[in-house]
Each structure stands twice: as structure tokens, then as C-alpha cells.
Structure 1
Amino acid sequence: MAGAASALFLLDIKGRVLIWRDYRGDVSAIQAERFFTKFIEKEGDPQSQNPVVFDNGVTYMFIQHNNVYLMAASRQNCNAASILLFLHRVADVFKHYFEELEEESLRDNFVVVYELLDEIMDFGFPQFTEAKILSEFIKTDAYRMEVTQRPPMAVTNAVSWRSEGIRYKKNEVFLDVVESVNILVNSNGQIVRSDVVGALKMRTYLSGMPECKLGLNDRVLLEAQGRSTKGKAIDLDDIKFHQCVRLARFENDRTISFIPPDGSFDLMTYRLSTQVKPLIWVEAQIERHSRSRIEIMVKARSQFKERSYFPLQHRNKC
């Protein structure tokens, strides 16, 4: 990642600093708080919706979660997209520890928060954002165990998202494809825009350091192999992989090769921009009877394929 973050701030809904960690010593908390307080006062201004703002030589990047803002500040020309992704990972880590990320949970667990801020970033560069690995050596009081003589091996290994020595009596892998259909329809009932947003969710219970491979009916791969793509291939857009996926291997032969984390995780997310048939079609008719009375009739009908129906058993009462 080009450039580094100077400091990381956790602010309340009014822009006041709750907790912060200085990594490079070139941005002060007072400076950041003064800027952010002015910034949130311009809530009606369209520019206030931008998650990246440059002010007085400092770039501020932030996200909001419940009543808490997570903000990173940098005086260097850093990769803003990487920092924003890092902030979302930090929010996931806090939710793993405190269940809910909000102002009260941060105040009640400020000691653990400072420990996490020391580990997830080093001199402004992101380090470890896997909550399961962090929980091996940063523990809350309820789960505190004896002090280990050395950090977990996963911290220094190339595979930082998986611990060594995992053993199961039975090796199992569960893969779920979860897709949501987004459709925009105009007043004439014509589809203006449609897309499908999907995610491959995995649950892995495997021993050791397993090597997993997954193939897709990707149009790019089938065309490269000289195979027909009629009705068999899909165009994947906006693909985002988990950090365990070997990107070079995917670029070469479109094979998803990875050593999975233990437990549940999102292997990849994607978007399909092809025209799709709505699963449920909704029609609305509005009839105005007077200034104070409107009648709205809504009809919904399913458009599932016949093979997608699941027949219910009928129970006859005597």
C-alpha cells in the first residue's frame, strides 16, 4: 500500500475523540477533532457525504458504524481505498470482541481497544485484521488464560489467517451461494436496471494446512479454452476475494486456489450485470377518489421456474 496512515481515531457522533492511536507523530488529536467537528456540522452539504476529505495537508478517511466514527488521517499520498477497507476490517474486529460496536462498548473496553490498535497497525501500515488470530493473544478478562512465552505462529507465518495444529475427526467444507436481485422499474413497468449481488460463504472444518481449489463457469476462462459459452458462462464483475485467495493463480487460469481460514468466512463477493427475470413481479395501481382518499392495489406474483417449486404435503382431516 502506497503511503501510510498517521493516526487512527474513534470518535462519537458529535465528532469528539473517544480513543486514538498516534503511529507517526505528524497529526494531533486536537487538529483532527477540530476538523471533524466542523465537518459533521455541514451534514446537509453534499460534500459532507464524501468518505475522503483533504484539509490543511492532511487526508481524512472515515466510516460510520452506529454512533461511532472510525477515522484514519495521513499526511502522505496513501491508497484511500485500502485504508477504507482496513477501517471496515477494524470494525469487524471490534464486533468480534464486543458483539456491538458502539460508544459505550468502546468506553467499557478501552484497554482491549488500545491493545488491538497496537496490533492491527504498525507505524501506519496495516498488519493483522483477522479476529480469530488476534483473539489468541489479545483476550478479554472473561477468556484470559496464562501468558504465553511467544506469539502465535500465525502472526509470523505467511498464512496469517490460519493457525497451525488444527485437527478435526472429520473434515468438512460447506459452501453457500447467497445472491440478492436488485431491480429498478419505471412507472410503465419496464425494467430500467437490474443486477445480482452475490457472495460465496464458506464454513471449513479441515485439519492442518489444506489446499483448496474452486472453479467457476466463468466466460473469460471458457473463451480462453476455446469452449462454447452459450448458456453456460457468466460474466463476473466487481469481484472481491478474501485475502487467502492466490490472486496470481486466478489471473492465470481463473482457478480460485486458497488455504482457508478455520470456521466461517466470505470467500468472494461479485456482481452480475446481466438482465435477469424478477423472481417476484409487483404491480401497483393507484386510484384517487378525493383529496383525502387514495386507493392503492398491489399485486404480487411469483415467476419462479417450475422446478424451483417445493410442493407442500396436504393433510386431510376426517
Structure 2
Amino acid sequence: MSSIEALYIFDEHNTPLLEHTYTGRPPAGSTLLPLYLAQPAPRPSLIYLPYTNPPTLLYSIIQDQLLFLCPSSTDTEPLQVLEFLHRVVDVLEDFLGAPLIASKIEAHYDVVAQLLSEMVDGGIIASTEPNALKDVVEAPSVLKSLLGGVGLPSSTPSSLSSSATPFSLGGRASPRLGPSPSTQAGSAVPWRRANVRHTSNEMYVDIVETLSVTLSPSGRPLSAIANGTVAFTAKVSGVPDLLLQLGCPGGVGNAIALPVFHPCVRLQRWRDRPGELSFVPPDGRFVLAGYEVDLLGPAALDSFSTSTTASSAPKLNLPAIVSVQTGLGPQASDVEVRLTLNPRFKGKSSSPLPSSTSSSFSGRGGLGKGLGGAGFGGPAQGTTSAPSIEEMVVHIPLPAGIKNVVDLRVPRGAGEAGYAPGDRAIEWRISSREIGILMANDRGTGAGATTTLRGTVVGQDDDNELEGSAGSVSLSSNTYDYADDQISSSYQASSDSLEKPKGSNGNGGAKKAFSKQMKVLMPSCATVSFSVKGWLPSGIKVESLMLDQKRSKGLGSGVSPYKGVKYLCVSKRGVECRC
């Protein structure tokens, strides 16, 4: 069993915000922080400090520029301690709001201290579910802060006990502040609050997949992984019992690898019937499951070893791909980046928008408040039948020896490319409106819209080398003796060298050396970042979401919750093409 000895929180300036000791006598935060900062960046999440007394394992995570440190001097389970730190971040974001900043922790230190005390008891992890913690710790609010600032009781009237005696002039009786007896009893389900009530019953499913693809210079996929997250938002009264059915081509059991689940999921049901998630959800938004999908399939390795042609490689239906050509132009210093957009992802401009799922679900539209926030709603919303690409960014890393990139240009209506001397990359941004214009100009060829970016790379010493490669004349004061009959032959040899600059001697050798040096200054890859609404690269979709009326409690007969489903694919420099 892992023992949590202490928790230290520091702000972005390495100023201590909180020190909470659970058990033992761990080293102070002022001792551990210099030892942590002495490690070279990037610092690992687990550092062994042998020179402390006693020797200590230091666990750390960074969230919103806040540093969380947890020391341990005993044999512990590393993943459990790191998971505890992530749970602390999730709980603080749930109570204080995201993002976490130092002023929020300082303003609500009493709430943070109560939360940390409830999450760990004597060094043993006790309760880390936000729903369960809300039953014993009162979340801060603006009204309570105002009441406390003027000296009035900060608890609301509903928190008074029903058996409390009203105020009297004699002062003999006083109201009982804090949670009601029913709340103190807690819920039968550890991860769900007791006595949950909602005026409008709603359930939302948001499936988000992060794409990571690597392409060879020929366009052959080397690796393609999609990491998925199933986010669920439950705003249902009582204790609902739900069944979520997932499906994909080839079967969920064959596609999904390394699944992880929220504790509310009944694992035996998933083992017996892969794709079925039976659970009693927490109240509010939470992560129901996570998974990984290999988009190339199990036969990709065999195709790589048996065939070298690009046509035999597994095919990927990506929203956009990029290719880079280097060494162009008369001086071999030009770079061309070609972006190709898939015509399948044009989106749909007509209104009203169709539902993104089957007839058993309703489109989220403006009601969507699941993972992704307001980005899921709006008139440019994509659907499964017509997915739409949001803003796209092409990132071209540059070597350290580049001094500048001049004559950087893109076609009109194809976004903007930005670079400043000293930057280590070129950023090419294309808005969703410009993507729609490029798609419309495709003229139905089916090959996809294509646009290019071109620029000229200038190295640190390119000015002198450019002069030498242009055939600059140098005068010498040395004199040479030669016979008259050698004049014509020497003149003919010099004229031949001017007419054939690509020979082994003369200016041709300088140009060849110059082109070899330019290869060092050329970019080696380019990445594409985008988001696509209404499409998942794995093909996973929600088949059904059912509420078991017999096993559910407190919902009421005849109540049918509103259901909504959203799909989103995100690539943060995830599609990389090497050159």
C-alpha cells in the first residue's frame, strides 16, 4: 500500500503556496524544491534523492504552471502516487474551477485544506471522487464569500438542520450550520452524490480522439495511433443505471487496445460483451473510458517487411497531409511545403444541420456542454455525414543554423505564414473559412484541394558564399612568366571554363559545395494541427444509450432523458511528414 507522506504546491515563481503533511517527518518543501530544480530539464516525474535524510523518492507533476511535489521515503507504488497527484488536480479544478492559478488556492485555502484532509487519511488514500467529496466539503461560491466578508453566516438556509431551533432573543438556541443529516449519511454509490435532483434530465456523450501519424517522404504511413477518450455528462435525478453500446467496423474488441475505465463501469459486462458499458454514472461530467487504436492494423508490420512499394502500404483517410521539398531554386535554398486537403471533410453549409447520430439521439447544437465546451456548438458544426475541419496550422521546424527565411509566400486565400528572424519554426495558419474556399475551388476532381507555401532559407554565412558562388573576381599582385605561344592555349582554356561552369574545376565546384551546405539548413519534417467535428479516425460510434428503468431509482416513471452525442478528432502536430 502506497503511503502519501506530504503534498507541496508551488506557483510559477517557485513560491510555496501550500504544505500539507499527512504522516511521518518528510523533508520540508524548502529542502526538496532546490533539489528538484537542480535536475536538468525535462525533469522526470520520479526523482530519487539519496542525500536527504531519509533518502526520498520525489514525485512531481506540473499543471497550469503550478508544481505539485509528493515525497515518499518508503517503498511505494509509483503509478498510484502519480495518479493521486492527478486526482488532486482534478478535484481542485472541480471545486475551484479551471485553470488552476495561485490566487484561487490562496483565496480558498480553507476549502483546499478540507479536500486534502478528506482525500488522504493517515497517509492512506481514502476518497478521490469529486461527487463524494461534495457531500462532506462545501464548494466555494461568490455569494458565500460576500456574506463572509461582511460578517454574516456563509451557509445557506438549506444547509440548516431541520431540527434546528430558530434564533431567539435570549440567545439560548442557535442554528446548526453545515451539511444536513441526510447529506452526512452519504450515498450508497461512492462516486455519486446523494439526493441528486435535476429539473431537466440530460445525458451527453463526447468521444474525442487524438491523432498521431508519421509519414515517410514517399507518403507511406510508418505509424498511426489514435488515443480516444469517452467523456460523459450525466444530469439525471436519482440513481440512474445506464447501458452504452459502442461499435466500429471489424468489432470493438478487435479495434480497441489498452482500455481503461472509470470505477463505475462493470468490468465483467465488458469482458463478456466487448463494446457494452454498464454503469451508474457520477453526477456531472467525468471521463468514462479511454482507449488506444492502431489505425494501420495488425497486418501493417507484415506489409512493411514483405513489400517496399507505397501502393501496398495501409491506406489512411486523413483530413490533410503535407509534403516538403527542399533544395529548390538556382541556389538550392528554396523550400516548398505542399498541403493537400481531403475533399471528404468539406462539411455542410446548408441549414438546418442534420443529427450527428442515429435517430435515437438528438444533435447537441447549443445545448452541448460536454468536453470541449462551447466549441461543440455553433452553425459550423460538423456531422458524421459531413465532417468539417476547423482551423489548421502547419508547423515547419527549422535547424539552428538558419539566420532568416525570406520571400515567404502563400497563394491568396490560403492563410497566412509567419516567421521572424530568430524563430525556430514557420507557422502557416489557415482558417476554417479559407479551408471552405479551398474546398469549393476543388471543382469536384476528387483529388482534394492543394495549396503551397514557398520560401528561401538564408544561413548565418550565406552572404559571403553567395558572392563566391556567383563567380566573383579576385585580383592578385603575383606575376607569372610564360611564352607567347602559350597565350592562345591558356586563353582558350579560360574561355572553356567560363562556358562550362559545372566542371570539376572553377565555379562549378563552389556551387556543388554550396548546395551541400544548404542541405544542412533545410527542414527535416513538417507537422499539421487541426480539429475535425463529426469524425473519428478509428470509426468508433455510439450505437445506443439506454436507461434501465427497473434498476434505476428516483428518476420517476415516464421520464425520458435527453440524449446527445458528439465526435471530435484533434491533431496537435500529430500528422508528421518527414523529408
TM exceeding 0.5: yes
Q: Which residue of the partner structure matches residue 300 of structure 1? A: 340
Partners of 1:167 and 1:114 in 2: how far apart?
28
Partners of 2:193 and 2:226 in 1: how far apart?
35
Does the residue aligned with 1:49 lie in a helix, a strand or coil?
coil
Q: Does 1:54 align with 2:48?
A: yes
Q: Does 1:36 align with 2:33?
A: yes
Q: Per-residue deviation at 1:261?
A: 1.3
Q: Per-residue deviation at 1:84?
A: 1.0
From 276, 279, 286, give the equivalent of 2:326: 286
From 58, 65, 76, give the equivalent of 1:78: 76
Does the residue aligned with 2:250 lie in a helix, a strand or coil?
coil
Partners of 1:281 and 1:116 in 2: how far apart?
47
1:206 aligned partner, one-letter code: V
Does the residue aligned with 1:26 lie in a helix, a strand or coil?
coil
Partners of 1:69 and 1:197 in 2: how far apart?
26
Question: Contact (CA 8 Å) 1:119, 1:128: kept in 2 or not?
Answer: yes
Change beyond 3 A, Cα 1:66–1:201: closer
Does the residue aligned with 2:7 lie in a helix, a strand or coil?
strand
Change beyond 3 A, Cα 1:80–1:185: same
Partners of 1:92 and 1:102 in 2: how far apart?
13
Partners of 2:192 and 2:61 in 1: how far apart?
28
Q: Which residue of the partner structure matches residue 138 of structure 2? A: 138
Partners of 1:150 and 1:178 in 2: how far apart?
39
Q: Which residue of the partner structure matches residue 8 of structure 2? A: 9
Q: Which residue of the partner structure matches residue 67 of structure 2? A: 69
Change beyond 3 A, Cα 1:290–1:37: farther
Question: Contact (CA 8 Å) 2:214, 2:224: kept in 1 or not?
Answer: yes
1:239 aligned partner, one-letter code: P
If asked which structure has higher relative contact order (CA below 8 Å, sep 6+), I would say: 2
Question: Contact (CA 8 Å) 1:65, 1:102: kept in 2 or not?
Answer: no
Does the residue aligned with 2:110 lie in a helix, a strand or coil?
helix
Does the residue aligned with 2:113 lie in a helix, a strand or coil?
helix
Partners of 1:200 and 1:171 in 2: how far apart?
20
Could you give the per-residue CA deviations for residues 282-318 of structure 1, whole angstroms, max 9, x where no partner exists? 22333443779534232222163xxx7544359xxxx
Q: Which residue of the partner structure matches residue 400 of structure 2? A: none
Q: Which residue of the partner structure matches residue 222 of structure 1? A: none
Question: Contact (CA 8 Å) 1:5, 1:76: kept in 2 or not?
Answer: no
Does the residue aligned with 1:216 lie in a helix, a strand or coil?
strand
Does the residue aligned with 2:60 lie in a helix, a strand or coil?
strand
TM-score by length of 2: 0.46
Partners of 2:264 and 2:184 in 1: how far apart?
13
The runs of at least 4 consecutive aligned structure 1 residues that moved more than 4 Å come to: 13-16, 149-156, 290-293, 308-311
Partners of 2:65 and 2:46 in 1: how far apart?
19
Partners of 2:39 and 2:9 in 1: how far apart?
20
Change beyond 3 A, Cα 1:311–1:249: closer
Question: Contact (CA 8 Å) 1:171, 1:206: kept in 2 or not?
Answer: yes
Q: Per-residue deviation at 1:6?
A: 0.9
Q: Which residue of the partner structure matches residue 116 of structure 2? A: 117
Unaligned residue ranges in structure 2 (runs of 5+): 145-153, 157-176, 297-315, 352-579
Question: Contact (CA 8 Å) 1:116, 1:138: kept in 2 or not?
Answer: no
Q: Per-residue deviation at 1:37?
A: 1.1
Q: Which residue of the partner structure matches residue 376 of structure 2? A: none
Change beyond 3 A, Cα 1:111–1:166: closer
From 313, 329, 349, give the equivalent of 1:312: 349
Does the residue aligned with 2:258 lie in a helix, a strand or coil?
strand
Q: Which residue of the partner structure matches residue 88 of structure 1? A: 86
Change beyond 3 A, Cα 1:104–1:157: same
Higher mean Cα deviation, 286-295 or 230-239? 286-295
2:33 aligned partner, one-letter code: F
Partners of 2:97 and 2:323 in 1: how far apart?
44
Question: Contact (CA 8 Å) 1:185, 1:193: kept in 2 or not?
Answer: yes
2:110 aligned partner, one-letter code: V
Partners of 2:350 and 2:111 in 1: how far apart?
54
Partners of 1:313 and 1:196 in 2: how far apart?
30
1:161 aligned partner, one-letter code: W
Q: Per-residue deviation at 1:10?
A: 0.9
Q: Which residue of the partner structure matches residue 293 of structure 2? A: 272
Change beyond 3 A, Cα 1:10–1:250: same
Alignment of 1:21-32 (within 5 A): 21-29=20-28, 32=29
Partners of 1:289 and 1:67 in 2: how far apart?
45
From 246, 250, 258, give the equivalent of 2:266: 246
Question: Contact (CA 8 Å) 2:319, 2:342: kept in 1 or not?
Answer: yes
Partners of 1:177 and 1:209 in 2: how far apart?
23
Q: Which residue of the partner structure matches residue 221 of structure 1? A: none
1:264 aligned partner, one-letter code: R
Partners of 2:271 and 2:108 in 1: how far apart?
43
Does the residue aligned with 1:210 lie in a helix, a strand or coil?
coil
Q: Per-residue deviation at 1:152?
A: 6.5
Could you give the per-residue CA deviations for residues 235-260 of structure 1, whole angstroms, max 9, x where no partner exists? 21222212221234434444422110
2:205 aligned partner, one-letter code: L
Question: Contact (CA 8 Å) 2:4, 2:123: kept in 1 or not?
Answer: yes
Partners of 1:10 and 1:277 in 2: how far apart?
44
Greater radius of gyration (CA)? 2
Q: Per-residue deviation at 1:133?
A: 4.2
Q: State the number of aligned residues.
A: 294
Does the residue aligned with 1:94 lie in a helix, a strand or coil?
helix
Partners of 1:151 and 1:119 in 2: how far apart?
18
Question: Contact (CA 8 Å) 2:2, 2:81: kept in 1 or not?
Answer: no
Change beyond 3 A, Cα 1:22–1:272: same
Q: Which residue of the partner structure matches residue 277 of structure 2? A: 256
Alignment of 1:97-176 (within 5 A): 97-136=96-135, 137-140=137-140, 142=142, 143=144, 144-146=154-156, 147-148=177-178, 153=183, 156-169=186-199, 171-176=201-206
From 235, 260, 263, give the equivalent of 1:205: 235
1:159 aligned partner, one-letter code: V
Does the residue aligned with 1:4 lie in a helix, a strand or coil?
coil
2:83 aligned partner, one-letter code: L
Change beyond 3 A, Cα 1:266–1:186: same
